[in-house]
Amino acid sequence: MKSIAKYMFRIVVLAFVVAAGFFCTGCNDDDVFSSSVNSRLTFEADTLSFDTVWTGVTSSTRRIRIYNNNKDGVRITSVALGSGGTSGFQMNVDGQSGSVVNDVEMLGNDSLFVFAQVRIAEDGEDLPHLVRDSIVFTLESGVQQKLILEAWGQNVNVLRGVTIDSDTHFDSSRPYLVYDSLVVTKGATLFLDAGTTVCFHNGAYLGVHGKIKAKGTLEQPVTLRCDRTDKMLWYLPYDRMDGGWGGVTLYGESFGNEFNNVDIHGGLWGINCRLPESGTDEDVLAKQKLLLLNSVITNVRGNALDLNYVQSLVANCEISNAGGYCVRLSGGKNEFVHTTIAQFYPWSAGHKEALLFTNVVDSVAYPLEQADFKNCLITGRTTDEIVGQTLEGYDVAFNASFRYCLINIKLTGEEGEAVTKMFETCVNETADFHNKSLNLTDEDKEKIIWGKKNFVLVGGDYYYYDFSLDSLSRARGIGLDEYTDDFPIDRRGIQRPSSNADAGCYQYKSEE
């Protein structure tokens, strides 16, 4: 009985073959075929390489084009896998599958596609291992030409609908591949050691009712990502896309969670701290829900960091590129220090702002006891990336402060004393547009350093982002010394100066 993967492989191949058929002309008696040893094929590349492939999982289908650049046609007596089909590679040539395909004709100045997949068996080793094979083209003239096939196989710990009900360590010996979900029950702790990588299949997520301690290092971060290792386009890995898996959910009864040097990317959401079961009980805010240090949450389809009436500390972190808000604070006690919140989400124009802080959720009051931002950088593509919402008509705490930050917010000057004090020590890059727009030409505006001009690289054709500071960034040197004392090293291990450090998680360092 053939596997579903094989059927899908053939369906993909058949689609290409049918489409190609519309552009092909059938052979007739007038076609001329050469058996000269000088009539050879030309390959689009000499090697068809696969990115890392999880052992026991069939890879995506790759294709390569074969050309006959000769005036006359060429008969290929056989196309065969060099291993005879024992390596794990599968091929389809001109619509025919198998380890050997016979009698293929190519007209002069014609081409055909070769499709390949691979399924690598586990070898018991932790390190990736190289699997090689070849496709041998034997021409009517007796000439043989080879196309090399190669793939790196990575053994994985496969987890299907696993529940962690006692203290458990995941180590870095080999990646973990999660299907369905990974749930940590109340009273249990999941420890993710330095260098651990957990890859989630489409729709799978990490749900924590107990506790998680993810402790990476600068050299060996903990990584939570999707399981796809192939590419959507030749320049765009699926790992650089959003929505490839679920995300991390910390449920209401979960406290004491720690993420240090953790990379979370490519999900439907980043970290979602659910509302506590006990409502606005003050005891809830007496216990820290989340400690997030030296970490990055990026390229997610929903909210990147969603804090719902919790106590949290976020420091030396990059939170960027969310289809929802990069950070949403709904009540609670939250402190952000030397954090970069950058909203340059590329996949939809309908994304939210970089930051929302509020004391209401679904018309229910959740006091915002504290929302402090110290030496932070908050910006994005628009000229208004910070939104504050308060529940009018109710005596509900709404306490937020921004100190020595680079911000991007539209202020008219008529907001009142409370708002003025909220931002009075900050540099507001948007003010150049709103407060001086009548005096600036378009050429002048182009010279203003704001938004993406603060950073080394934002997006582009390859959807790659580097939120390190550009030399001209206005976040440079605006930090307050006392906020830097507890975090003298930036997220990439660079020493901050003892005075006038840069805002955000990255201290500028020249190429020299």
The secondary structure of 374-419 as a DSSP string is ES-EEEESSS--EEEE--TTS---EEEEEES-EE-----S-S-HHH
Q: Are 363 and 390 in contact (CB under 8 A)?
A: no
What pLDDT does 176 receive? 98
Model confidence at 437, pLDDT cuts 50, 70, 90, reads low
Asked, for residue 297, whether it belongs to a domain, the answer is: no
Q: Are 81 and 89 in contact (CB under 8 A)?
A: yes
Asked, for residue 468, whether it belongs to a domain, the answer is: no
DSSP string covering 51-114: EEEETTSPPPPEEEEEEE-SSSBEEEEEEEETTSS-SSEEEEETTEESSEEEEEEE-TTEEEEE
Distance CA 429, CA 447 (A): 12
Distance CA 251, CA 34 (A): 71
Q: Look at residues 426, 371, 404 and name the one whose alpha carbon lies nearest to residue 499.
A: 404
> DSSP character for 472?
T
What pLDDT does 273 receive? 97
Length of the chain: 512
More confident residue, 200 or 231: 200
Distance CA 354, CA 376 (A): 12
Q: Are 299 and 241 in contact (CB under 8 A)?
A: yes
> DSSP character for 166?
S
Q: Say which range, 169-178, 189-198, 379-388, 439-448, has the weakest mean pLDDT.
A: 439-448
Q: Look at residues 289, 290, 303 and name the one whose alpha carbon lies nearest to residue 246.
A: 303
What pLDDT does 23 receive? 40
> DSSP character for 263?
E
SS3 309: coil
Q: Strands (DSSP E) along 119-261, which ranges?
A: 129-139, 144-154, 157-164, 168-170, 176-184, 189-192, 197-200, 206-208, 211-215, 222-226, 231-233, 236-237, 248-250, 257-260
Q: Say which range, 10-19, 254-263, 323-332, 378-387, has the weakest mean pLDDT.
A: 10-19
What are all long-range contacts of 164-167, with beta carbons under 8 Å and residues at least 24 apart? Answer: 164/188, 164/190, 164/210, 167/191
Describe the chain by its helix, strand, coil percentages, rounded to 5.
10, 45, 45
Residue range(s) defining the domain that contains residue 109? 4-22+35-153
Report residue 127: phi and psi, to 5°: -80, 150
More confident residue, 391 or 214: 214
Q: Which residue bears the tokens 């930051």?
A: 355
pLDDT mean across residues, the chain? 91
Calculate mean pLDDT across residues 305-318: 98
Residue 18 pLDDT greater than 60, yes or no = no
- Measured torsion, CA atoms of residues 440, 446, 447, 448, in degrees rounded to the nearest 10: 80
Digit-coded pLDDT (tens) for 32-81:
999 999 999 999 999 999 989 999 999 999 999 999 999 999 999 999 99
Q: Look at residues 389, 440, 434, 390 and name the one whose alpha carbon lies nearest to residue 410.
A: 434
Q: Are 359 and 366 in contact (CB under 8 A)?
A: yes
What pLDDT does 9 receive? 56
Q: Say which range, 27-31, 223-227, 283-287, 427-431, has the weakest mean pLDDT.
A: 27-31
What pLDDT does 19 receive? 46
Distance CA 170, CA 198 (A): 9
Asked, for residue 85, whether it belongs to a domain, the answer is: yes
Q: Look at residues 272, 334, 274 and name the one whose alpha carbon lies nearest to residue 306.
A: 272
Residue 13 pLDDT greater than 60, yes or no = no
Number of domains in the chain: 1
| Amino acid at position 249, single letter | T
Asked, for residue 361, whether it belongs to a domain, the answer is: no
Q: Are 208 and 184 in contact (CB under 8 A)?
A: yes
Kindly tell me the burial class for residue 356, based on how many C-beta atoms sit within 10 Å of its own C-beta (0-12, 13-18, 19 or more). Answer: buried
Domain CATH for 9: 2.60.40.10
More confident residue, 235 or 16: 235
Distance CA 482, CA 296 (A): 24
Q: Look at residues 288, 196, 300 and name the one whose alpha carbon lies nearest to residue 248.
A: 300
What pLDDT does 6 receive? 53
Asked, for residue 423, whether it belongs to a domain, the answer is: no
Q: How large is the C-alpha radius of gyration of the chain?
A: 28
DSSP string covering 129-149: EEEEEEEEEEETTS-EEEEEE
Residue 25 pLDDT greater than 50, yes or no = no
CB atoms within 10 A of CB 448: 15
Distance CA 320, CA 342 (A): 5
Q: Are 319 and 327 in contact (CB under 8 A)?
A: yes
Q: Look at residues 483, 505, 501 and name the one whose alpha carbon lies nearest to residue 492.
A: 505
pTM: 0.90
Asked, for residue 484, whether it belongs to a domain, the answer is: no
Q: Say which range, 124-128, 194-198, 244-248, 328-332, has the weakest mean pLDDT.
A: 124-128
Residue 15 pLDDT greater than 60, yes or no = no
Distance CA 479, CA 426 (A): 9
Calculate mean pLDDT across residues 231-251: 93
What pLDDT does 416 receive? 83
Residue 20 pLDDT greater than 90, yes or no = no
CB atoms within 10 A of CB 127: 10
CB atoms within 10 A of CB 395: 7
Asked, for residue 348, whether it belongs to a domain, the answer is: no
Kindly tell me the burial class for residue 369, based on how many C-beta atoms sit within 10 Å of its own C-beta (0-12, 13-18, 19 or more). Answer: middle
As given in the structure block, the two tokens for residue 471 are 């030399």
Q: Look at residues 333, 399, 397 and name the one whose alpha carbon lies nearest to residue 365.
A: 397
Model confidence at 234, pLDDT cuts 50, 70, 90, reads confident
- Measured torsion, CA atoms of residues 394, 395, 397, 399, in degrees rounded to the nearest 10: 90
| Amino acid at position 395, single letter | D
Digit-coded pLDDT (tens) for 438-495:
677 778 777 888 999 999 999 877 899 999 999 999 999 999 999 999 999 999 999 9
Asked, for residue 244, whether it belongs to a domain, the answer is: no
